[in-house]
Amino acid sequence: MDLYREVLSLDTGEDHDYHDEWCRLQAIASPTTSTVYEHGFVTLEKVMGDDLDIVNNARVSFNVSSQEMTEKEKGLLNFLMRDRHGSPWEAVVFRFHVRAPIFVNREWFRHRIGSFNEESLRYSLANEQYYVPKAEDVRRQTGKPGAYTFETIEDPAVVNRTLELFEHTQKDALNAYHEMLDMGVARELARDVLPVGMFSSFVWTVNLRALFNFLSLRNDTHALREIRTYAEAVEELAAKACPTAFELFNTHGRVTP
């Protein structure tokens, strides 16, 4: 059975054993999806607009429009980015479907220019997926607030014990969660024992200008390593929709217009 048929054959009911597998296969099957970590993904579900729409969003001031992208239109976009004329870039809107660890989502949701809708464990069952870092991502933090640096821990005993604690702690929390559900405790209460390493899904609707702001901060060497990995996936997908805009974003120092 090919992957597309395998996706369609699975029951999508929230309480079905195959629900999480259906989501995973759906993500892999999509040509606009990047997988992130073992259980995560970023899917670009819809895009409204492209490079030419940004041009025409600016030219509406003069009651004119362009029908195709030429060097003249690219020059206008360059001017808009260089001189930070912001509103024309809002002509392009993206809708992403994301599955990420809760601690990543909490940083993501701080970007308030956009719309978020997250799955709710008041109504659905928690999946069995949680984040465990790779050995090379086990790190120590040094320095002071605002000037932290992070170094990979080389001691195998520390690394192995850290990975064991990630596994055991989250499995224990899941077992406690299911035990409470089996006793009849409400989902909205039982979920409170689950750790921030659990994966959760959300839909993010954001315009290009706000997306540039997100990427300038999160796809950056100073960002939390895990959210940067997701930001890289977001940027790779979004850049395909308006390549000239992203080329200029990088040319002008990745500063939000």
Give the residue numbers annotated as catalytic, written as ranges.
Answer: 218
Q: How far is CA 64 from CA 55, 75, 227, in A?
A: 10, 16, 41
Q: How confident is the model at residue 8 (pLDDT cuts 50, 70, 90)?
A: very low
Give the confidence band of 4 by pLDDT, cuts at 50, 70, 90: very low
User: 196 and 85 in contact (C-beta within 8 Å)?
Assistant: no
Contacts 24+ apart (CB under 8 A), 62-71: 69/244
Q: Which residue has the higher pLDDT, 5 or 239?
A: 239
Segment 114-162, tens digit of pLDDT: 999 999 999 999 988 999 999 999 999 988 877 788 999 999 999 999 9
Query: What is the arithmetic mean of pLDDT over 173-182?
Result: 97
In the block, which residue shows the tokens 């003069």? 62
- Residue 11: pLDDT band (50, 70, 90) is very low
Q: Give the distance from CA 172 to its chain's centroid.
A: 27
- CATH 3.30.1360.170 applies to domain 31-130+197-251: yes
pLDDT at 5 over 50: no
Could you tell me if 177 and 192 are in contact, meaning their C-beta atoms sit under 8 angstroms apart?
no
20-72: pLDDT as tens digits: 555 555 555 556 899 999 999 999 999 999 999 999 999 998 899 999 999 99
Tokens of 114: 């956009």
Record the tokens describing residue 45, joined without a space.
Answer: 């579900």
